[in-house]
Amino acid sequence: GVEGNVLLVMRGGEEGGAEYDSGCATINTSSPSPTLLTGKSSKLPTGWSMMDYGVEAITPIESQQPKSWIGFPLNRTDGDKEPIKYGCEDQWTWNRYDRSHEVRLYGTGMRVAHFHPNWSSGTAGVRGTRILNNGRYYWEVQVSQRIFGTSMMFGIGTKKACLHKNVFTNLIGEDENSWGLSHKGLIWHRGLWVQYTIPFRENQATTVGILFDGVEGTLTFYKDNKCLGVAFRNLQQVREPLYPMVSSTACKTEMTLSYMRRDFVNLQDRCRAIILKFVKKKKDLDELELPPMIKNYLAEAISRNFTPVNYYILNV
């Protein structure tokens, strides 16, 4: 296990301060679902609990050692920029058929999500078109300077995860169907939270990076190219399709997909990525004298840039 400060978890919907005895907490990482074990006794107010959460103990950012997906240490100035160093550019976007009515999509490839265009009386979310399970993916979301309100969130979820509530709430992570990070530095799952990092500065634009490793089963967040450490583990056990998600309670906020990479599935996939650096249009592909099977395989990637895709996934 690893040791850290006591992790205080509160059920969603309850607010206010509380007094408790500080103590030591340990995450038991030997079992499939890490369990938070309390050291010294803690007095928790009604409605608060220590329980299974599937997260790493929180450690100071300075002491963490971010790693690439192949396990090589990275420095914080260069390495954190490309967590999937040897992958290739990924292609997906926000799903116009899978969003709150309070989310407007526009821009190149519909990659800009505009929340609550008039006024806000609740929480709105949108899912991405990328299925994540079993693969390794990294994407960045540029957030406009309008950072404020109850909760602006980034994370992943299944199709069962809710995309709209008529109340201000932490939408991503409100139940067992999603896992999220809020702009207040909290990570949420099953309606419970723990402090993960410091709150974002309000009214200051920022970039949030998300690294999903479906092989290791981890979800890691980055902020302005700085690794914040692993937030969730054991996600490889989720059998339902997982998708990127964002949500916001704040009026007229924008989140833009700006950078996306993925790991290669196999050598064939890697060769295709190299070829498509030089062959970007269907008409260019038609001019090549290639066997029909190879040409169809290349055309598949060209024609599916901004539609729901899952053809890179290792189906195990």
Of the two residues 256 and 289, the one the predictor is more confident about is: 256
Q: Dump pLDDT digits (tens) for 25-83.
A: 223 333 333 322 223 333 333 443 333 334 433 333 333 333 333 222 333 333 345 68
- Judged by DSSP in three states, 130 sits in strand
Tokens 């990924």 sit at which residue?
90
Distance of alpha carbon 266 from alpha carbon 284, whole angstroms: 25
The predicted pLDDT at position 297 comes to: 84
The predicted pLDDT at position 314 comes to: 31
Q: Dump pLDDT digits (tens) for 109-166.
A: 999 999 999 999 999 999 999 999 989 999 999 999 999 999 999 999 999 999 999 9
Share of the chain residues as helix, strand and coil, in percent rounded to the nearest 5: 10, 35, 55
Dihedral class, residue 264 (left if φ above 0, else alpha if ψ from -120 to 50, else beta)? beta
Q: Which of 144, 187, 189, 152 is nearest to 168 (CA)?
A: 152
The predicted pLDDT at position 82 comes to: 67
Of the two residues 295 and 132, the one the predictor is more confident about is: 132
pLDDT band at 265 (very low <50, low <70, confident <90, very high): confident
The predicted pLDDT at position 303 comes to: 63
Cα dist. 159→83, 123, 126, 177, 242 in Å?
Answer: 27, 17, 11, 8, 7
Q: Are 264 and 313 within 8 A, CB to CB?
A: no
- Judged by DSSP in three states, 269 sits in helix
235-254: average pLDDT: 96
**What are the domain boundaries of the chain?**
1-60, 70-262, 267-303
Q: At residue 18, does pLDDT exceed 70?
A: no
| Cα 25 off chain centre by | 26
- Judged by DSSP in three states, 261 sits in strand
Q: Which of 21, 54, 55 is nearest to 38 (CA)?
A: 21
Of the candidate ranges 97-101, 237-241, 311-315, the one whose mean pLDDT is the lowest: 311-315
The predicted pLDDT at position 231 comes to: 97
Query: Could you tell me whether strands 88-89 and 123-128 are parallel, antiparallel, or unpaired per DSSP bridges?
Result: unpaired
Q: Dump pLDDT digits (tens) for 179-223.
A: 999 999 999 999 999 999 999 999 999 999 999 999 999 999 999
Residues 6+ apart with CB under 8 A from 52: 33, 34, 35, 36
Domain 70-262 class in CATH: mainly beta
